[in-house]
């Protein structure tokens, strides 16, 4: 469960990213967070992974109050939140297998265990036969699937997908959404930050609309309304 209580983020006097927002996201939910550029979506993501700290308010993930999280606890938080980005953020000099294994390696996972987990993750995203390829040898959709596999490496309770379909055509975008839905079916909370109207409307899941740093709409089985 993600609990956000009265969170405000002020960068400067003229730059207020979030204004006193409160929301509850239950474990296992699939929530789309929509809004125009500058609405506060990215700031919200940064607060969730403790890249930023709120100016005011409280954020809890499960029973963990991350509002004033200690620096040395941040890596452990990030292992519980899988991040997916529009630009995939893959390491070009590593193969598909190595990119996924990398997330486990930096966490100190044993090599034997990595050798077991990585093929399973590649199986989930349908890239078992591409494990030796480099990112530049893959299509955009395939690269995003590698990023998804990597985000699942720590078996996170939450997946935050920031515009995962932004660089993809309709078919690949649909494939990515299907994978996210599959992950959600396994019980993982999915937060989808997107501009893609078709994707949001097709999902029929909860939609939170941000505008000017405020939550202006929070609909169960909602639609893209802006």
Partner 1 sequence: MTSLKRILKFAFQDIGRNFGLSFMTVLILILMVLSVNALWGVEAITKEAVATVKDQVNVSVYFSANANDDNVNELKKYVSSFPEVVNVDLLSADSVLDSFKQRHKLSKDILDALAELDTNPFGPTMIIKTKEPSDYQKIIQALNVPEYQTLIEAKSFDEHETALDKIQNITNNAEKMVAGLVLLFGCISFLIVFNTIRAAIHTQKVEIGIKRLVGASNWFIRGPYIVESLIFSVLSMAISIGIIYLALHFIDPYLSVIFSDGFSLTKYYNSHILYLFGSQFVCVLVLTVVSSILAMRRQLKV
Cα–Cα distance between 23 and 5 in angstroms, integer?
A: 7
Contact status: 67 vs partner 1 (CB under 8 A): no
Residue 32 β-bridge partners: 192, 207
Contact status: 136 vs partner 1 (CB under 8 A): no
Part in contact with partner 1 (CB under 8 A); list of ranges 35-43, 86-94, 137-145, 216-224: 86-94
Q: Which of 9, 131, 154, 206 binds partner 1 (CB under 8 A)?
A: 154
Quick check: 113 and 100 in contact, CB under 8 A?
Answer: no
What tokens does 144 get?
Answer: 């995003």
Cα–Cα distance between 195 and 188 in angstroms, integer?
A: 22
Q: Which of 34, 153, 177, 183 binds partner 1 (CB under 8 A)?
A: 153
Residue the block writes with tokens 């996210």: 180
Q: Which of 20, 29, 105, 174 binds partner 1 (CB under 8 A)?
A: 105
Residues in the chain: 226
Number of residues that bind partner 1 (CB under 8 A): 28
The three-class DSSP label of residue 156 is coil
Q: Which of 130, 150, 205, 206 binds partner 1 (CB under 8 A)?
A: 150
Quick check: 177 and 146 in contact, CB under 8 A?
Answer: no
Whose Cβ is closer to partner 1: residue 6's or residue 75's? 75
Cα–Cα distance between 154 and 103 in angstroms, integer?
A: 8
Part in contact with partner 1 (CB under 8 A); list of ranges 104-112, 116-124, 193-201, 203-211: 104-112
| Contact residues for partner 1, defined by CB under 8 A | 49-51, 71-72, 74-79, 83, 89-91, 93, 102-103, 105-111, 150, 153-154
């Amino acid at each position: 469960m993600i609990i956000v209580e009265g969170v405000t983020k002020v960068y400067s006097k003229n730059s207020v990213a979030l204004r006193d927002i409160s929301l509850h996201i239950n474990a296992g939910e699939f929530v789309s967070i929509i809004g125009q550029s500058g609405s506060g979506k990215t700031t919200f993501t940064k607060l969730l992974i403790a890249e930023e700290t709120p100016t005011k308010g409280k954020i809890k993930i499960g029973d963990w109050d991350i509002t004033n999280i200690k620096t040395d606890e941040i890596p452990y938080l990030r292992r519980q939140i899988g991040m997916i980005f529009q630009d995939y953020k893959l390491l070009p000099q590593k193969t598909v297998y190595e990119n996924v294994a990398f997330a486990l390696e930096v966490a100190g996972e044993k090599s034997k265990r990595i050798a077991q987990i990585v093929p399973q993750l590649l199986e989930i995203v349908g890239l078992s036969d591409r494990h030796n390829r480099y990112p530049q040898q893959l299509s955009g959709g395939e690269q995003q699937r590698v990023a998804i596999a990597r985000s699942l490496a720590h078996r996170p309770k939450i997946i935050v997908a920031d515009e995962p379909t932004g660089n993809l055509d309709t078919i690949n975008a649909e494939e990515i959404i299907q994978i996210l839905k599959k992950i959600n079916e396994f019980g993982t909370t999915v937060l989808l930050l997107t501009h893609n109207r078709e994707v949001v409307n097709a999902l029929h899941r909860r939609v939170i609309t941000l505008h000017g740093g405020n939550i202006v709409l929070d609909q169960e089985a909602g639609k893209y309304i802006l």
